[in-house]
């Protein structure tokens, strides 16, 4: 299954036989609110199940960072409650830049569920094109997914540091945070020495949809990525970096690693260095 699905294709799939319909996850989330659950109650893709970033798509914040990977047993329980079934496609959407949906895509792939995509353009594209919405709270039949971690590469702090030296480590945060000019959330400002700034917002066009694969490939080449070179990504807490991994896959670079703890994990350790300024350092 390709990482992206169009609104037209999703509408057609949802209109098909009940047994062939994908499971749809509404993963709307905002750092400063309002809560995504409120937006869900106001309207959502018919049949979509609200899935919270903080309580389902991440574990408890702490030493592992602000959005560490969830415990596999907890993730399996929550995905089954959302109706996720083995062999049944899953489509995730948000209403912003696709990064939270990308986290759901990455996490399901990591859990061993390969039939997963995100809605290109998200909820905004769905409603702009006049597709139906619902205010019904969906209570799906429990799914049977078995979570088997390891389907996507995960980097720890030491591996991320080594990749910044010996391959290409992309920092998905906005440039002011990468450069250490500001740090509104985490303990220290700056970036992992050797990491290259690749703000995740550049993967989305003015229409809110993902840029074509050729444009993404050109972007990554401009950032210094060579064919066959090992590559990974991190961000503030491991969420928006998931969209970099997705963009890399769209551009033909498979197997990119994700530093799941990201800067929220790295910056907790005062013994780990922090580079500042616009250059990798």
Catalytic residues: 235
| Burial profile 51-60: b = 16 or more Cβ within 10 angstroms, e = fewer | bbbeebbbbe
Site of tokens 């998905």: 172
- CA triple 226-231-232, angle to 5 deg: 155
Q: Which helix (H) or strand (E) holds 25?
A: strand 23-26
Dihedral sign, CA of 108, 112, 113, 118?
positive
The torsion defined by the Cα of 138, 142, 143 and 147, in degrees rounded to 10, comes to: 110
SS3 content of the chain, % helix, strand, coil (to 5): 30, 15, 55
């Amino acid at each position: 299954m390709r990482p992206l699905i169009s609104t037209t294709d999703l509408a057609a799939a949802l209109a098909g036989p009940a047994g062939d319909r994908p499971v749809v996850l509404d993963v709307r989330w905002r750092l400063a609110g309002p809560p995504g659950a409120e937006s869900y109650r106001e309207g959502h893709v018919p049949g979509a199940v609200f899935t919270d970033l903080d309580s389902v798509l991440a574990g408890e914040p702490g030493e592992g960072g602000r959005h560490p990977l969830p415990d596999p047993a907890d993730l399996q329980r929550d995905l089954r409650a959302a109706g996720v079934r083995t062999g049944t496609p899953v489509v995730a959407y948000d209403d912003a830049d696709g990064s939270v949906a990308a986290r759901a895509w990455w996490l399901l792939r990591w859990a061993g569920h390969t039939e997963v995509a995100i809605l290109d353009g998200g909820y905004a594209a769905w409603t702009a094109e006049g597709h139906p919405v619902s205010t019904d709270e969906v209570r799906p039949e429990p799914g049977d997914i078995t979570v088997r971690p390891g389907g996507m590469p995960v980097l720890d702090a030491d591996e991320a540091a080594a990749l910044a030296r010996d391959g290409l480590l992309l920092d998905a945060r906005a440039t002011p945070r990468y450069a250490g000019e500001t740090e509104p959330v985490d303990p220290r400002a700056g970036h992992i020495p050797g990491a290259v700034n690749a703000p995740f917002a550049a993967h989305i066009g003015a229409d809110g949809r993902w840029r074509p694969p050729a444009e993404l490939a050109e972007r990554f080449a401009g950032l210094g990525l060579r064919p066959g070179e090992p590559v990974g990504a991190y961000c503030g807490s491991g969420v928006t970096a998931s969209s970099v991994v997705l963009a890399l896959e769209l551009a033909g670079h498979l197997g990119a690693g994700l530093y799941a703890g990201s800067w929220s994990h790295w910056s907790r350790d005062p013994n780990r260095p922090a580079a500042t300024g616009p250059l990798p350092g």
